[in-house]
Amino acid sequence: MGEDFGYFDPTENLRPKQTTILEVGPRQLPSVDFFRQFPSAKVVFVSLEPAEFDYQTRVPGSNYVQANALDFLTSNDPAIPSDGFDFILVCNTLGPSGEELIARNLSKFVPLAYSRLKPGGELIFEETYGHVKPKEGGYITRIIDRLGFNAQFLTNPKYTLRKGNWGEGCFQIVVTK
């Protein structure tokens, strides 16, 4: 007969933990290459825009929440894991266009996103469209640093979100918790 451990499950810490990923503003371009590296991850998309296609078919088991990421991250939405995300991805939203609310709200967005990361988790901004030049990316990195976060500017990152888009002038800003 097995020993009775009551409510305590001694195997809990030995079980592999599921990777959890939030992508902000995916539009038609989910970070396919990134997700391929984490095939069993639980993925949540949040965007101001309605879903353009069936994300659940492209990324099985994913959730799509139509909301401002700033509101979503402050909410009790059940799609937010209680222990936080492993990765929060934000691709091509640092541009100057008026709709890029993330760019205009970095001082709110970065602390909020950071608070929703697991220890060791990463907030990854990726710019691949050339709308934001590396020099401007360096400036944004220093702004995030000055907010008190350890931001790294990378032109040769560990993971790229979509490899096909990567080239000269592309960069990431990575904030690790």
Ligand X SMILES: C[S@@+](CC[C@H](N)C(=O)[O-])C[C@H]1O[C@@H](n2cnc3c(N)ncnc32)[C@H](O)[C@@H]1O
**154, amino acid identity:** L
Interface stretch with ligand X, choices 4-12, 19-27, 114-122, 140-148 (CB under 6 A): 19-27
Check residue 47 for interaction with ligand X (CB under 6 A): yes
**One of 21, 46, 94, 124 touching ligand X (CB under 6 A):** 46
Q: How far is C-alpha 85 from the geometric centre of its chain's CA atoms?
A: 8
Is residue 100 at the binding interface for ligand X, with CB under 6 A as the rule? yes
Q: Closest residue to ligand X, Cβ-based?
A: 25
Nearer to ligand X, 7 or 50 (CB): 50
29, 51, 112, 147: which one binds ligand X (CB under 6 A): 29
Please state, in angstroms and rounded to a whole number, the distance separating the CA atoms of residues 116 and 137. 23
Q: Which is nearer to ligand X, 18 or 37 (CB)?
A: 37
Helix-then-strand count for the chain, H and E: 6, 7
Tell me which residue of 98, 145, 88 sits closest to 120, measured CA to CA: 88
Could you give the CA distance from residue 34 to residue 126 in angstroms, rounded to a whole number? 12
In the complex with ligand X, which residue's Cβ is closer, 26 or 121? Answer: 26
Q: What is the rounded CA–CA span in Å between residue 42 and residue 39?
A: 9
Q: Tell me whether residue 109 or residue 149 sits nearer to ligand X (CB atom).
A: 109
